[in-house]
Structures are given as structure tokens and as C-alpha cells.
Amino acid sequence: MSFIRTGATEALTRWREALVGGVLVIWGLYWVLDGLGAFVWLGVILALIGATLVWSGVQRARFRTGSDGLGMVEVDERQVTYLAPVGGGFMSLDTLLRIEIARDRIDRPLWRFIGPEDTLSIPAAATGSRALFDVLTALDGARIETAIRALGTPPDTPVTIWSKSKTPAGARLTPPPQSPKR
């Protein structure tokens, strides 16, 4: 039997990373202000680590997903897998061309992973869909803030969160400078 309401437990679980970061910041600042010698520097490091955890925790907590949606999401070795009775599938991040958030038939947010030959549609409320946050952070140029807003209020038209650039990784956009001829 728990003495904490279910809603409070869910909120604490959702914001736990930010809360731990806040405790580390306070602890670090205490050592900075009241410590001696090496404890001052340890306090600075601890406060910086805590600040990083607060920032990351707030981003994750704002990344709204539910658990009442159809199916289950798994992310393993650069592959997103959606297991569902109907419409499941998988998409490799290496072949991914674009990620969008759209609205499904009942006005709920829906992820679309678009590849060269097929599209994987995943309800934002599917079990395990929080792992998609880690997918976004692994992709260069992903617009996480846009994804957070689109998940909170599903858009009327699909919103592109990430798109593969036309230029291959490591390629130069401009030709190298030419050395002057003698």
C-alpha cells in the first residue's frame, strides 16, 4: 500500500532526472560556498553536472508521451521497431530520410519515420515511445523543441522534425581554396 497518490508518483517519476539534478546543484553550491580547498572545486564540478541533469531532465519530462496507445516501441542498435497487431514494422536509422509528427484519425499525435521505400507510423502514446527522444538526440539537426510542441498539440499538417541533408556527411559545401598560380 502506498501513501503517495498515483498522479503524484507519475509526476515524480516523470521529473526525476530534473529533481536529482536540482539536488546535485544545491549540494555543489553548498560545497562552493562553505567548502575548503578541493571541496570548492568538487562543488563546482558537482553543480555543473547537476545543471546538465536539470536541463536534460526538463527536456525529457516535457517530451509528452502516454502509455495508453496501441503497440510497443523498441529501439535497439540504430533500429526503431514498432510492435502492434496491425501496422507494425521497423526502420533503420541509417536508411531514414525524414521524421514527422502528424495527427492520426482521432486527433492524437503520430510519429512518421519515412524511409526510401516505406513509412513507419507510430502512435506517440505507444508503450516505450519515450525511447524516441533518444533517437532524436542521436540525429544531427533534430528539432527537439518543435517535437515537444507538436506532441503537446498535434499539428493540422505534418511537421518535419528531422530530415536527412542532401550533402553526405563529411563533404564540403564549398570547394577548397585554390592556391595562387605562379
Residue 151, pLDDT score: 82
- Residue 182, in any domain of the structure: no
Q: Do 91 and 144 fall into the same domain?
A: yes
Q: Which residues contact 135 (CB under 8 A, 6 or more apart)?
A: 75, 80, 93
Tell me which of 24 and 140 has the higher pLDDT: 24
Q: Do 57 and 103 fall into the same domain?
A: no
Q: Is pTM beyond 0.75 here?
A: no
Range(s) of the domain holding residue 77: 72-163
- Residue 178, in any domain of the structure: no
Query: Which grid cell is 152?
Result: 503537446
Kindly report, residue by residue over 93-148, the tens digit of the pLDDT: 889 999 999 988 888 888 899 999 899 998 888 888 888 888 888 888 888 888 88
- Residue 86, in any domain of the structure: yes
Give the mean pLDDT of 20-47: 92
Percent of the chain with pLDDT over 90: 29
Rounded to the nearest 10°, the torsion over CA 142, 110, 155, 133 is -30
Quote the number of domains for the chain.
2
Q: Do 10 and 90 fall into the same domain?
A: no
